[in-house]
Structure 1
Amino acid sequence: MSTESPGHTGPATPAESPQVPSVPPTAVDALARAGSEVLGGPAGRRLAGDGPWWARALPVAVSLTAVAVALGAVGKHHCRTLGWNTPDQFVHACYTDLPVVYTSSGLAKGLGPYADGVSLNQPPVTSALAWLVARFAPYEVTVTAQRVYFDLSTVLLLVAALVVTIAVWTMAGRRRGWDALLVAVSPVLALSALLSFDLAGVALATAGMACWARRRPVPAGILLGLAVATRTYPVLILLAIVLLAVRTGRFRGAATTVGAAVAAWLAVDLPFVVTNVDAWSAYLRAFFDQRAGYGSLWVLPQLAQQAVDATNTSGLPGPAVVVLTIGAWIVWTVLVGVFVLWAPRRPRLAQVAFLLVAGYCALGVSFPPQAALWLLPLAALAVPRWRDQVIWWVAEGAYFGAVWLYIAGQTNTNRALPPELYAMVLLVRLAAIAWLVVCVVREVRTPSTDAVRATRGPDDPTGGDFDGAPDALVVRVA
């Protein structure tokens, strides 16, 4: 292995002209063009950037995002009407953490997020959001209280979804603004947006990336720090920024962003640490106390045992799962780091972040349906090809239905999904994510196949300081 300081691997790409019209997906994507026949054919002048404002990428994407969240709410109608009861909520695939946690955690008693008797096991911002919504819901354990809490949470999560879409549109660049549709029309958004408060963390993380793309390191760091205090995974986006800073030698903006993120995280977390460290650290301790969860690669041994003996659900011991997970994460992080420094052309920020987060999800202790939201904006930016996205969407949709039927079978064997079928769908889901990873690796190794770089515009619309930057360090693996 050797290192080089090659200077510049190619001419810097000039900043994108604000006058450059957007490119509709039907003009550059074969699947989008074929699918458009249902809607009247490929896009014409009105969708090419010079038509009325309501026919342009952002208004259309925002409207479709609202429709997707509304469809998600409609999917919860059965439970919203009759209550979230087991196994009914799983059989009808209308389960959501939001009302269930409200009435079971102690929030419905009017207690604070980290008060004695409240068991949220969530990071501070998520706990604060859950408490804030609870302030406007009835303090009672009833179906009515659950319904009110769910409705209020839906409004909050709709705002978060709109933030994600707008941030993706911002990062995609004017020329590829229609890539925001890959978020707006995704079944992942419709199915999983209302399962938990994960989308709030995704909104903060994506907005932070958008600020970085606009070369605003301090707001980027603050938003990413708040995102880490909402969901832990955005720390991987910060790691992606650091890795690209090493490759380009542009450390100033990266250091500012990381420093602002640490400061924001401490500002949120320290008050809870000082006042009630046990309650604050519950979500961290829970990681080390759990066995393999739904969606995890490590749950497959348990499913294999169940297929042979339905009463045998032991699976891998909890400590073994934690060790395997941490070990797999370390290996994956090292591999991605070497890949970033070895690639013939610097990867785009969205590609690096996607690789890190995809490995984190696929190799984690659990991989619930709502965790796919973490990947949604990153996948849209890293692999903006409709064929590849549809493959992933189909797999996620199949898993969404399968996991609820499998869980329902724990209490109602008449409507159960056999463990072997659940394992098969789980593997299909992981294979679809692996396919997106392969697409990213292939396009980084062969930049001419990268849909973003093949379109005339910035070298890396999400790159911020890294856009058009020369290489300062490249690792050559013999």
Structure 2
Amino acid sequence: MWAGGPAADPRSVDGRDRPSRNDSLVAQLSTTVGGPVGDHALIGRARFWTPLRVLFLFTVVFLALGWGAKAPCIQQTSAPDGRAMLDWGDGRQYTAMCYSDTVPLYGAERLDEGAFPYKKSWTEETPDGGVETRYMEYPVLSGLYQYLGMQIAKTWDASPLPGALQVVLYFNVIAFGLALAWLVTVWASATLAGRRVWDIALLACSPLVIVHAFTNFDALATAFAATGLLAWARRKPVLAGILLGLGGAAKLYPLLLLGPIVVLCLRVDPMRRTPSAHTGLRLRDIDSGARALTWLRETPDRIRVTSQRPLGAAGVAVGAAASTWVLVNLPIALLFPQGWREFFRLNTTRHADPDSLYNVITSFTGWSGFDGELAHGEAPTILNTVSLLLFLLACLLIAYIALTAPRRPRLAQLCFLVVAAFLLTNKVWSPQYSLWLVPLAVLALPHRRILLAWMTIDALVWAPRMFYYLGLDRKGLPEQWFTGTVALRDLAVVGLCALIVWQIYRPAQDLVRRDFVDDPVGGVVDRATDPLLPWLPEWLRPWDSLRHHHPAR
């Protein structure tokens, strides 16, 4: 008779996903380092090379490659009078494909003068021969980050330490901070990934990191967004709201993540406490009742009962985010109102960006746009309205998907859909904005081949962009070569959205939800009840619930 099992070893009780065993791509790559993990290997016993430290190593390597890709744009040369200057002659920033906004902004935003952003103004000549007054054009936290980087660069330049041009020192200071922010993004995403921690290798080793980690200041926003989602996952709505509000003060998109949080909380009934409520599973989702009972009995720590009301927690997060954004912006808005409004003014008067869907259509059809020819500084009112309405319609469609899916979607899935919809419908898609999608994509759709293909397409858009900016007179590329690759990038993102929606309506196909996992990012809605929601009209109720209650239909 069997008297009992072997002594428990917590280090081997690990449900971690093993890509070298279940993913053909990783299995092939693993042959270079000894092959797939053994069938009887004890997972989680490494003393030093833990998954997170390996991911940090991958991240540092790819960030170093990203810095190396930008390095040609901080090389120095001598001017005719012997002064040191950047080697940007003859379009070098485009032919070397090393362009970074941080370098020209040092002079363009008057940071080289030591001026405080939003207070300092200057005049620029407009294309029609007039002049206009300009201020710092970035949101408050991004502008203050540039000011801090400038102060550090000037302090370094005045010290006896080895020096260089101030703009070179400034770029390196900014790049160091952005690298730390991306490491924070990786850490938070790895924590959110749970048992599928190795999916985050796609985030650490993304081709987009090489191309865009140091193109602009967007890594700041990804860090706030990822840590905000982590705080929400740990059921700390106040902290989540604060972090997302700070992210919104650096870039807009972290505030968009509040919408999916609210929608998911609307779908949850916080008063019911049943086994299926705790696990996030319905009986028809379980292929083996005995297996489910064993899982519930042996892993009671997975059953979470919380006194937090989901809608209340969502309201707290939204309120904290709004309050944080106001507190960060209010001092600048009161002290320097003209400088603070510059960001909003420019975004209102800005025409369709070269990367936008609207410009792609113009490029191939000759369409003059919704507003036709406009004078400099004249707002494209119709374009602004159309892009806003399209985004709102997309958000309504995403909310409909969230409410009618047979099982409550995961938060990362809805967040990716909302941010992708914003980028696809917006009149501006700056190249570095693609970094916004990377952490969300890895958490929402951890299919390695698919994500790697999309990231590669998106990263390769950089090459025709640079040679389009070079100009035909210097043997650059025609516009359609660039906009054609933009169209391919957009189609790839639309394809990712379609796959996510397909998995939302077929939750059994969701890799994250295998082995009785519900929503690692869900926070108060993770493993919560998924009721019929009788207060909603039938057309907004989950489809399988309607079929269950009306079998004749």
Per the normalisation by structure 1, the TM-score is: 0.89
Residues 116 and 276 of structure 1: is their aligned pair in 2 closer, same or farther, counting only changes over 3 Å? same
Which of 373, 376, 387 is equivalent to 2:438? 376
Residues 232 and 224 of structure 1: is their aligned pair in 2 closer, same or farther, counting only changes over 3 Å? same
Partner of 1:155: 176
Q: String of CA shifts for 1:185-244, please: whole Å, max 9, x gaps.
A: 111112111011111011011101011111111111110110011111111101111111
Please show how residues 86-97 of structure 1 align to structure 2 within 5 Å. 87-97=91-101
Counterpart amino acid of residue 228 in structure 1: G
Work out whether 1:269 is the aligned partner of 2:329.
yes
Which of 275, 300, 306 is equivalent to 2:360? 300
Work out whether 1:208 is the aligned partner of 2:228.
yes
Partner of 1:403: 465
SS of 2:460 mapped into structure 1: helix
Partner of 1:64: 58
Partner of 1:334: 396
Work out whether 1:28 is the aligned partner of 2:25.
no
Partner of 1:471: 530
Please show how residues 8-407 of structure 1 align to structure 2 within 5 Å. 19-44=13-38, 49-82=43-76, 83=86, 85=88, 87-117=91-121, 119-138=135-154, 144-173=165-194, 175-249=195-269, 250-304=310-364, 318-407=380-469
* Alpha carbons 1:273, 1:280 under 8 Å: kept: yes
Which moves more between the two structures, 42-51 or 429-438? Answer: 42-51
Q: Identity percentage over the alignment?
A: 30
Deviation at 1:274, TM superposition (A): 1.1
How many Å separate the matches in 2 of 1:45 and 1:146?
54
Which moves more between the two structures, 324-333 or 343-352? Answer: 324-333
Deviation at 1:245, TM superposition (A): 1.0
Aligned-pair Cα RMSD in Å? 2.7
Partner of 1:460: 519
Q: For structure 2, list consecutive stretches of 5 or more residues without a partner in the other structure.
A: 1-10, 77-85, 123-134, 158-162, 270-309, 541-553
Q: How many residues align?
A: 455
How many Å separate the matches in 2 of 1:291 and 1:240?
29
Larger RCO (alpha carbons 8 Å, 6+ apart): 1
Q: For structure 1, list consecutive stretches of 5 or more residues without a partner in the other structure.
A: 1-16
Residues 104 and 56 of structure 1: is their aligned pair in 2 closer, same or farther, counting only changes over 3 Å? same
Residues 387 and 434 of structure 1: is their aligned pair in 2 closer, same or farther, counting only changes over 3 Å? same
* Alpha carbons 2:118, 2:338 under 8 Å: kept: no
Larger radius of gyration: 2
How many Å separate the matches in 2 of 1:444 and 1:382?
10
How many Å separate the matches in 2 of 1:147 and 1:313?
39
Partner of 2:80: none
Please show how residues 386-465 of structure 1 align to structure 2 within 5 Å. 386-409=448-471, 413-454=473-514, 456-465=515-524
How many Å separate the matches in 1 of 2:12 and 2:120?
54
How many Å separate the matches in 2 of 1:475 and 1:67?
52
Counterpart amino acid of residue 144 in structure 2: A
Counterpart amino acid of residue 211 in structure 2: L
SS of 2:350 mapped into structure 1: coil
Per the normalisation by structure 2, the TM-score is: 0.77
Partner of 1:8: none
